[in-house]
Amino acid sequence: MKTNKELYNERLTRIKKAIALEKPDKTPFAPMMDSFCARHMGYTLAQFCFDVELSNKIMIDSIKDLGEVDAASGTSSFAGGMGLIFMCRVKLPGRELPENALWQLDEQELMKPEDYDTIISKGWQAFSNEYVATRMNVDFELLGKTGAFAPIADQRMREAGYPVYGGGVVSLPVDYLSGGRTMAKFMMDIKRMPEKVTEVMDIIMKNNIETMKAGLKAAVDPIDVFIAMARGCPDFYSTKIWEKFVWRYLKEVTETCIEEGIAADFHIDANWERGLDYFKDFPKGTCVFETDGMTDIYKVKEKLGDIMCIKGDVQAGKLTLGTPEEVYNYSTRLIRDMGPGFILAGGCSIPPNAKVENVRAMVAAAAGK
Amino acid sequence: MSKKLVEAMADLEEDAVLAEVKALKAQNVPALDIIAYLQEGMSIVGKRFEEKEYFLSELIMSAEIFNEASQLLGGGMGGAGSSKYGTFVMGTIYDDIHDIGKNIVTTVMSSNGFNVIDLGVDVPTAKYVEAIKQYKPKVIGISCLLTTAFDNIKECIQTLEKEGLRKDIKILIGGGPVDEATCKYVGADHVCKNAQETVEYSKKYMGV
């Protein structure tokens, strides 16, 4: 019988080997999951959101119940802080939403065009402190508790034998500005005042990279930096715009991760097929393409399979409406076709109403059972 | 015909569009004619989108400019009136407040000549029922980005059936987690993977 420490080391090695494109002893299974854990363990999403210590227990118990999970995607609920990734308000279960509804971004035009000037004159930190305090609906008490409990939550997860898939997190400027301004207003900003937007983006990027580096210094066994890139999808922009307002910053963040010796985890939302060729120049075994099922994973394999690890992509719909057999067969096919640099996971976060037996089918497929 | 306005709209020249709308208005050109020029420019935008010269960024910009110009004439996108094709009703299903995908589809449908009724996000079944009775669309679109809202689409479609509103309309669904299995589960007619597919399906069904 292996100890938790031994299992922890085994799992950590497995994940790191997959990222380095070496052959691990088995395909790692490292799903993003939080809301699923709550429903799996019989709690409401409101309970999960507002009780930080309980959310940590729920995540550990859910992972233990599933068995062979190689890394946790987090250690407690972060729903209360989700808006900070997009500089917009959130609606939470038990607050604005029913007890069991999923937390969601509530996008409104909180940031005004004149704020670009303020950011340029005062800097991002001074602007964002005021912005977060007065315009967003952050529950500071909850956020404070989450921060204070984070080291304990992290330690408890690791003591249970599970590494934490993460270590750093960084948002791209496009997510801050399109979330704060709204997507439509942001699109007009880049048409009306491209140079000003670029100046602001440079300021945000500098700040976020510094914050990311500081976070990495404090992290225990960091595996990767989670790069949030929801609004950066190349399908949303003409090539020229995308290169100037998205790719330039994504490349900068990635190169910083590589310099820091940490894997860059591209958390891909939506269809990035048009942008795949851009990723070809990164050094082999330094990045993870974490995809949600919207980009054809076989095209990712064809273009980038020899360069970076692929993570994904059992779709949320399949986990909710599909059968265990379908999920098992799909997962097994991915393991056969994507490896060895492959980590099995759901496409983005496993939804709260995913069938537990479907998630177990992923575990079984990864274990080769 | 104001070639200048049509071209400025197609080229997304915001200042030129607004200046020309003001000039035409000052010359007492009827608002409906000005709207028609703007719509012609929007059709070119739609064509350039199809030909991959334009992308969603340009579509969103075109909708913003069109709306701004319409405001000068006392109406928004919905007030455009004289659409070439039929009416298309769309919303994001209740309990879901995602709006980007829905906005993209309504913009593309408008620029392709459909009269679009945008019901917004978190739309309850009663609002779909009311809109279908009032606007008599041939096609409706339901956007959904959350698997937890699949049952809401199902309930909505079942209600439309009970109310006798289902048989003459086609129901399209779309959004990240939505696939063929979802379509079957909720009882919709077709899954649209992108906005262009919504245009093509609707045109075909409406016999355009």
CA distances from B174 to A62, A124, A322, B100, B179 (A): 31, 37, 18, 12, 8
Q: How many domains does chain B have?
A: 2
pLDDT in tens, A213-247: 999 999 999 999 999 988 999 989 999 999 999 99
Percentage of residues of chain B with pLDDT beyond 70:
96
What's the confidence (pLDDT) of residue B82? 52
**Domain range holding B123?**
84-205
Q: How confident is the model at residue A71 (pLDDT cuts 50, 70, 90)?
A: very high
pLDDT at residue A255 is higher than 80: yes
Report the number of distinct structural domains present in chain A: 1
Confidence of residue B186 (pLDDT cuts 50, 70, 90): very high
> In which band, very low, low, confident or very high, does the pLDDT at B60 lie, cut at 50, 70 and 90?
confident
AA identity, residue B47: K
Per the rule left: phi > 0, alpha: psi between -120 and 50, beta: everything else, B74 is: left
CATH at residue A155: 3.20.20.210
How is residue A232 annotated by DSSP? G
CB contact under 8 A, A317 and B146: no
Structure tokens at A346: 């759901």
Q: Do A101 and B95 touch (CB under 8 A)?
A: yes
State the pairing for strand pair A342-346/A309-314. Answer: parallel
* Chain B residues within an 8 Å CB radius of A267: none
| pLDDT at residue A184 tops 70 | yes
Tell me if A184 and B103 make a contact (CB, 8 A cut-off): yes
User: In which domain, by residue range, is A150 found?
Assistant: 4-367
Percent of chain B predicted with pLDDT > 90: 66
Same domain for B126 and B71, yes or no, is: no
pLDDT-based confidence at B207, cuts 50/70/90? confident
> What is the C-alpha separation between A166 and A288, in angstroms, rounded?
12
| Residue A261, pLDDT above cutoff 80 | yes
- Looking from the CA of B122 toward its CB, the CA atoms found within 13 Å total 9
Q: What is the mean pLDDT of residues A149-176?
A: 96
Assess A184–B contact: CB distance below 8 Å, yes or no.
Answer: yes
Give the end-to-end CA distance of chain A in Å, rounded to a whole number.
19
pLDDT band at B43; cut points 50, 70, 90? confident
Whether A165 and A15 have beta carbons less than 8 Å apart is answered as: yes
CB-nearest partner of A238 from B54, B64, B100: B54
pLDDT for res B107: 83
The DSSP annotation for B149-204 comes to GHHHHHHHHHHHHHTT-STT-EEEEESTT--HHHHHHHT-SEE-SSHHHHHHHHHH
Q: Is A104 on the interface with B (CB under 8 A)?
A: yes
Check pLDDT > 80 for residue B81. no
Read off the pLDDT of each residue in B162-186 and give the average, rounded to a whole number: 95
Closest by CA to A275, choosing from A235, A231, A305, is A235
B64 vs A184, A294, A353: nearest CB? A184
Instruction: Give CA angle at A179 (A177, A184), nearest 5°.
Output: 85
Q: How far is the C-alpha of B54 from the C-alpha of A64, rounded, in Å?
A: 49
DSSP-derived secondary structure for A186-231: HHHHHHH-HHHHHHHHHHHHHHHHHHHHHHHHH-SS--EEEEE-GG
Among all residues of chain A, which has the CA nearest to that of B57? A237
Q: What is the pLDDT of residues A114-143, one digit of tens each?
A: 999 999 999 999 999 999 999 999 999 999
CATH number for the domain that contains residue B145:
3.40.50.280
CATH of the domain at B21: 1.10.1240.10
Q: Is the pLDDT reported for residue B67 higher than 90? A: no
Whether B98 and B12 map to the same domain: the answer is no
d(CA A286, CA A225): 11
Q: CA–CA separation, A341 vs A172, rounded Å? A: 26
Residue where a domain terminates, one of B46, B79, B112? B79
Model confidence at A254, pLDDT cuts 50, 70, 90, reads: very high
Let me know whether B17 and B57 are in one domain: yes
**For A269-309, what is each residue's pLDDT tens digit?**
999 999 999 999 999 999 999 999 999 999 999 999 999 99
Average pLDDT (A252-264) is 97
| Same domain for B8 and B34 | yes
Q: Both B66 and B165 in a single domain?
A: no
Residue B119 and residue B187 share a domain = yes
One domain, residues B115 and B200: yes
Sheet of strand A287-291: strand arrangement: A167-171, A224-228, A263-268, A287-291, A309-314, A342-346
The pLDDT mean for chain B works out to 91
> Residue B60: which of A184, A235, A352 has the nearest Cβ?
A184
Contact flag A316-B14 (C-beta cutoff 8 Å): no
- Same domain for B88 and B123: yes
Helix (H) or strand (E) holding A90: strand A89-91
Q: Can you tell me the distance from the alpha carbon of A105 to that of A86, in angstroms, rounded to the nearest whole number?
A: 8
DSSP state of A108: -
Name the most confidently modeled range: A147-151, B73-77, B102-106.
Answer: A147-151
- pLDDT of res. B80: 45
Last residue of a domain, one of B55, B79, B103: B79
Position B195 scores a pLDDT of 87
The C-alpha of B193 sits at a distance from chain A's nearest C-alpha, in angstroms, of: 9
Average pLDDT, whole number, for chain A?
96
